[in-house]
A and B are shown apart, each in its own frame.
Chain A
Amino acid sequence: MEILLDEKYGEQLAKEAANPDAISSWNQFKLTYQAAKSSSVPDFEGLVALSHLPHIDFLPHQKEAAEEIIHQMQGRAILADEVGLGKTIEAGLVLKEYLIRGMVNKVLILTPASLVNQWVTELHEKFHIQAYAPRKNPAWKDADIMVTSIDMAKRDPHYSEILSIPYDLIIIDEAHKLKNPATKNYQFVKALQKKYCLLLTATPIQNRITDIFNLVSILKPGYLGDLSSFKKEYGKKMGNLDGNVHLKKLISKVMIRNRRQDTGLADTKRMVKTEWIEFSEEEQQVYEKLETIKGTHPSFTYLTLAKELCSSREACYLSSKQMYDKLGDPENTGPLHDLISGVEQLPHHAKAKRMVEIIEQSDEKFIVFTEYRASQYYLQWYLQQHGISSVPFRGGFKRSKKDWMKQLFRDHAQVMIATEAAGEGINLQFCRNMINYDLPWNPMRLEQRIGRIHRFGQEKNVQIYNFAIKNTIEEHILNLLYDKISLFENAIGELDHILEDLDIKDLGHEIEAIYSESSSYGEAKIKLNNLASVISSHSETERRSSS
């Protein structure tokens, strides 16, 4: 075994002992020894980082994951916890441990562009790790820890420079995007020089079983054989790990997958309350007027306008006006014209009033989701009239504006009004109240919304208010879909895959289509029940196969 030892020290000391400038005092000498002691790690085992991070309460599954990655998997692993269980925390803990042990200096973290800042902030705030997000002319060689997007890294001149650096650790977030070995991204990642490597994804298998082969091949080439023999052996069972005990066992040696129900996260509950709201008399009249356009316009038009009227005058006015302008109606006698003039007369919306009542009773923070941008403007204005501060949030905001809005909400405003939850958006654990002002057609969207606040880091029970107006289309949506919400809840993370198999591109559109193509409420209900049972049986098999 190789022993590297400083052979020359004796001669140096003999020389320097005669040089008064080189002599340190007794206290300096002792301090140096003390410094060496406190920067040494006396054991192979365990996580030293924990005692360095006393301000973080790691969950048991997070500590176990980090320990397993470092000690069993030798630093090369797929971290495939379900959404919201803290994959970033686990990766940060692994990184911290390696840094303390002096096993890692040079680190590259690749994430989607929208998450770069979040990574840098989290590493700094939680782990006291100074990472850099490169801007124009990044000094790849100088900065020890870099966070960047693959898109930037794979561009020249960065590309060749990054490939020339021997990295100690590479972390790739949202790694499921790397499933296709023919892509430039995949080849880039494969070509990186790395000692340790973490791949983070909530969906290690998205479509087919070769996805996992490709991910594992980044970590441990050869571990699952080569592609042709792998395909021969496992390829026929598309997307299904079931039935193959051998493969499952192999994969469990390179992959960690914690599930929500196995972790302490179930400790905070979600309390979901349906708020039934009644239209005022004027509103009800206008809504009934809307029924009359069913005869003269496509059912899709009716659906859109009805949903909008249930949200705000503004939303409904805007699109009925647009339709009106497009169709043209010189006599001004059509049902659309009637509708518009009716909408114009309406007082404040019943749901907006209820929303203010709820928020005024509390001094806690609220996040309000609406489907329409017009409603978002209206609600912001309406809240302001009641002296309640609020900030808007939209998927279309730039990254910096999103960060800014989040910060305003955390430090100043009581309410955030958002139009889009978007999976990779923001984390708002500091808020525990959510009002679903409008319900989306796609129940998965609701789950993603709730995931913004009911996630790792939430310390209190989460209160969800679902608004629905009686005797309107909203009552139908709620009855049809949301009593089955638990079904969708369980399928999160797998649903994309299920839908792909069913050849459904967008669940919301599918449900909307079912509703508008059905001639009666009963018919819609039967069709939706069928869809629900397909999804539930599918997700059952999925769960069995990957646990």
Chain B
Amino acid sequence: MKEAAAHEQFIRSFFHEYDCPILSDENGRLVIQLTDKMDEALMNRPFYWHYIKKMGRQGDPMSLTLITNPDLSEEKGEYIHSGSPRLRQLYRFLQDNCRFTKLYEAVTITDQQSPLVPWLVTNLRISYFGKQKKDELLSIGLNLIHGTMAPSFMERIENYPLETTISDFTFPMTPLIRIPSGYQRIVSYIHRHIESQDRTWASQAMEALHEEKQLLSAFFKEENEEERKLLEQELEALKGRFTPKVTVDVINGGLFYFTQATTNQIII
């Protein structure tokens, strides 16, 4: 139930954010009117939009019926649950479209000019592949004036009001650390972080790989071409399954400007 409520909330915010009116919303069943732009992005009908545009006509965007209440999952509409195709599509849409930002803290009128401190924020997903896989999310903020770094940054700033335009009577300070070199500092931090993690999972995977390789070589005699090919293929599969590796993906990031007061608060 908790999960359903979370999905529902997510869907509401998502479509609200992309200016799609919610036509009805009751008991875990939402009907959403798409805009032209979102229809194009989500409904997978490129030819329709191609012709509409070619003819210079007004398109007729579709509406979506999304159901989060498991009791209604048999009803007409798309049942939304963890891993459902629509939800994954929305996630992917965000991932593709919201990789970058530049935001300013919204400041209510002050009588004097106040400077805003630049921060580089990156949210990353670290995936550890051993015999199994696990993910770790890191959100790191780097003060671009004096280089202070703070972990769990999103959790620290999530309740501050931020805008894409700068408030009156505020001005951004010019970073002393350039963004690319700031990012390099974060990269080094990530490397250190990964090095400092428990490595048992990796050595277990190596052991397993070693064992499986030995089994394999006992089996194949490499007498003919066919056998050699199969052996090759099996070895590849083994490596694919067991070679430990770590991938780091940037979820999103941006340049954030906070007042000096906020800067002091968030690094406490």
How many Å lie between the Cα of A187 and that of B184 in the bound state? 51
Segment at the A interface, from B9-17, B39-47, B50-58: B9-17
Asked if A128 and B241 sit within 8 Å, CB to CB, the answer is no
- A37 contacts chain B at the CB level, 8 A cutoff: yes
Asked if B219 and A52 sit within 8 Å, CB to CB, the answer is no
In this complex, what residue of A is CB-closest to B135?
Answer: A40
Q: CB < 8 Å: which of B208, B220, B245, B251 contacts A36?
A: B251
Q: Which residues of B contact A223 (CB under 8 A)?
A: 215, 219
Of B190, B218, B221, chain A has the most CB atoms within 10 Å of the CB of B218
Asked if B217 and A222 sit within 8 Å, CB to CB, the answer is yes
Asked if A32 and B95 sit within 8 Å, CB to CB, the answer is yes
In this complex, what residue of A is CB-closest to B163?
Answer: A26
Asked if B241 and A100 sit within 8 Å, CB to CB, the answer is no
Q: CB < 8 Å: which of B135, B154, B246 contacts A2?
A: B246
How many Å lie between the Cα of A26 and that of B237 in the bound state? 43
- How far in angstroms is the closest Cβ of chain A from B118? 10
Asked if B70 and A29 sit within 8 Å, CB to CB, the answer is no
Segment at the B interface, from A189-197, A325-333, A412-420: A189-197
- B23 contacts chain A at the CB level, 8 A cutoff: no
In this complex, what residue of A is CB-closest to B178?
Answer: A14
Q: Which residues of A contact B208 (CB under 8 A)?
A: 74
- How far in angstroms is the closest Cβ of chain B from A453? 23
Asked if A99 and B218 sit within 8 Å, CB to CB, the answer is no
- A138 contacts chain B at the CB level, 8 A cutoff: no
How many Å lie between the Cα of A65 and that of B213 in the bound state? 26
Asked if B190 and A22 sit within 8 Å, CB to CB, the answer is no
In this complex, what residue of B is CB-closest to A9?
Answer: B250
Asked if A29 and B133 sit within 8 Å, CB to CB, the answer is no
Asked if B94 and A37 sit within 8 Å, CB to CB, the answer is no
Given contacts A3-B194, A34-B10, A36-B251, contact A74 B245 (CB under 8 A): no
Asked if B82 and A38 sit within 8 Å, CB to CB, the answer is yes
Given contacts A4-B245, A128-B83, A221-B216, contact A32 B94 (CB under 8 A): yes
In this complex, what residue of B is CB-closest to A19?
Answer: B100
- A182 contacts chain B at the CB level, 8 A cutoff: no
How many Å lie between the Cα of A10 and that of B180 in the bound state? 4
Q: CB < 8 Å: which of A4, A35, A54 contacts B90?
A: A35
Interface residues of B in 216-268 (CB under 8 A from A): 216-221, 230, 233-234, 237, 240-255
Asked if A26 and B103 sit within 8 Å, CB to CB, the answer is yes
Given contacts A13-B255, A23-B102, contact A35 B245 (CB under 8 A): no
How many Å lie between the Cα of A218 and that of B241 in the bound state? 16
Q: Which residues of B contact A17 (CB under 8 A)?
A: 100, 102, 179, 254-255
Count residues on chain B whose CB falls below 8 Å from chain A CBs. Answer: 89
- B141 contacts chain A at the CB level, 8 A cutoff: no
Given contacts A30-B158, A32-B94, contact A222 B220 (CB under 8 A): yes
Q: Which residues of A contact B184 (CB under 8 A)?
A: 10
- A155 contacts chain B at the CB level, 8 A cutoff: no
Asked if A27 and B13 sit within 8 Å, CB to CB, the answer is yes
In this complex, what residue of B is CB-closest to A75?
Answer: B241
Segment at the B interface, from A41-49, A340-348, A443-451: A41-49
In this complex, what residue of B is CB-closest to A34?
Answer: B10
Q: Which residues of B contact A7 (CB under 8 A)?
A: 187
Asked if B241 and A29 sit within 8 Å, CB to CB, the answer is no
Q: Which residues of B contact A11 (CB under 8 A)?
A: 179-180, 183
Q: Which residues of A contact B88 (CB under 8 A)?
A: 39
- B146 contacts chain A at the CB level, 8 A cutoff: no
How many Å lie between the Cα of A367 and that of B41 in the bound state? 50
In this complex, what residue of A is CB-closest to B3?
Answer: A51
Asked if A41 and B17 sit within 8 Å, CB to CB, the answer is no
Asked if A102 and B164 sit within 8 Å, CB to CB, the answer is no
How many Å lie between the Cα of A195 and that of B179 in the bound state? 40
Asked if A28 and B219 sit within 8 Å, CB to CB, the answer is no
How many Å lie between the Cα of A3 and that of B127 in the bound state? 10
Given contacts A10-B180, A35-B90, A36-B95, contact A194 B237 (CB under 8 A): yes
- A357 contacts chain B at the CB level, 8 A cutoff: no
Q: Which residues of B contact A217 (CB under 8 A)?
A: 219
How many Å lie between the Cα of A42 and that of B179 in the bound state? 29
Given contacts A27-B17, A52-B83, contact A6 B133 (CB under 8 A): no
How many Å lie between the Cα of A542 and that of B1 in the bound state? 47
Asked if B98 and A31 sit within 8 Å, CB to CB, the answer is yes
Asked if A9 and B3 sit within 8 Å, CB to CB, the answer is no
Asked if A10 and B181 sit within 8 Å, CB to CB, the answer is yes
Q: Which residues of A contact B10 (CB under 8 A)?
A: 31, 34-35, 38
Q: Which residues of B contact A39 (CB under 8 A)?
A: 88, 91
- A5 contacts chain B at the CB level, 8 A cutoff: yes
- How far in angstroms is the closest Cβ of chain A from B156? 13
Asked if A24 and B13 sit within 8 Å, CB to CB, the answer is no
In this complex, what residue of A is CB-closest to B200?
Answer: A44
Asked if A28 and B94 sit within 8 Å, CB to CB, the answer is yes
How many Å lie between the Cα of A37 and that of B138 in the bound state? 10
Q: CB < 8 Å: which of B17, B133, B219, B255 contacts A221?
A: B219
Interface residues of B in 114-156 (CB under 8 A from A): 120, 122-123, 125, 127-128, 130-137, 139, 154
Given contacts A1-B202, A70-B132, contact A221 B100 (CB under 8 A): no
Write the B188-214 contact mask toward A (1 if CB under 8 angstroms, else 0): 001100100000011000001000100
Q: Which residues of B contact A1 (CB under 8 A)?
A: 202, 244-246
Q: Which residues of B contact A14 (CB under 8 A)?
A: 178-180
Asked if A2 and B245 sit within 8 Å, CB to CB, the answer is yes
In this complex, what residue of A is CB-closest to B246?
Answer: A3
Q: Which residues of B contact A100 (CB under 8 A)?
A: 82-83
- B97 contacts chain A at the CB level, 8 A cutoff: yes
In this complex, what residue of A is CB-closest to B226?
Answer: A191
- B84 contacts chain A at the CB level, 8 A cutoff: yes
How many Å lie between the Cα of A287 and that of B248 in the bound state? 83
Of A30, A70, A193, chain B has the most CB atoms within 10 Å of the CB of A30
- B29 contacts chain A at the CB level, 8 A cutoff: no
How many Å lie between the Cα of A32 and that of B187 in the bound state? 21
- A248 contacts chain B at the CB level, 8 A cutoff: no
- A25 contacts chain B at the CB level, 8 A cutoff: yes
Asked if B101 and A37 sit within 8 Å, CB to CB, the answer is no
- How far in angstroms is the closest Cβ of chain B from A120? 15
Given contacts A5-B187, A30-B158, A222-B215, contact A41 B134 (CB under 8 A): yes
25 contacts between A and B (CB under 8 A): A1-B245, A4-B245, A4-B247, A7-B187, A10-B182, A11-B180, A13-B253, A19-B100, A22-B100, A26-B164, A31-B17, A32-B95, A35-B10, A36-B95, A40-B136, A42-B136, A43-B134, A54-B3, A96-B83, A100-B83, A101-B133, A193-B237, A195-B240, A222-B220, A225-B218
Please list the residues of chain B having a beta carbon within 8 angstroms of any beta carbon in chain A: 3, 6, 10, 13-14, 17, 70, 73, 79, 81-85, 88, 90-91, 94-95, 97-103, 120, 122-123, 125, 127-128, 130-137, 139, 154, 158, 161-164, 178-184, 187, 190-191, 194, 201-202, 208, 212, 215-221, 230, 233-234, 237, 240-255
Please list the residues of chain A having a beta carbon within 8 angstroms of any beta carbon in chain B: 1-7, 9-14, 16-17, 19-20, 22-45, 51-52, 54-55, 70-71, 74-75, 96, 99-103, 128, 130, 190-191, 193-196, 217, 220-223, 225-226
Q: Please list the 10 inter-chain residue pairs (A to B) with the smallest Cβ-Cβ separation, ordered nearest first.
A: A10-B183, A222-B219, A40-B135, A10-B180, A24-B98, A222-B215, A14-B179, A35-B91, A16-B100, A26-B162
